[in-house]
Amino acid sequence: MTDQTTTKTTFRTRLFKIVSLPALIGIVLGAVGGYVYYIKIGCLSGTCPLTSNPYMSVIWGAVIGYLFGDLFTKKKKSVPQDEEVK
């Protein structure tokens, strides 16, 4: 049982090192929003490259959601080498 717990914890920590929580929420909400956009507004003729295909609408929605969610992440401040505490 401990192997599964450490695997889940390790995966979670690796995931949050790559993508922050607000960005992850933005990806999910953006993907849902892209699908809703496809359903409600989508292009029936098939000539619209983004809205005629549900996969493209979901992908673009997730990208926009990531970019919007990434605005709310706090960036770590780096200490210049001259001002390091000794």
Average pLDDT for residues 9-17, to the nearest whole number? 76
Is the per-residue pLDDT at 29 higher than 90? yes
In Å, what is the CA distance from 77 to each residue of 70, 71, 74, 83? 16, 16, 9, 13
Is the per-residue pLDDT at 60 higher than 90? yes
Distance CA 83, CA 77 (A): 13
Is the per-residue pLDDT at 44 higher than 90? no
pLDDT of 34: 92
Is the per-residue pLDDT at 53 higher than 90? no
Chain-centroid distance, C-alpha 45: 30
pLDDT higher at 8 or 46? 46
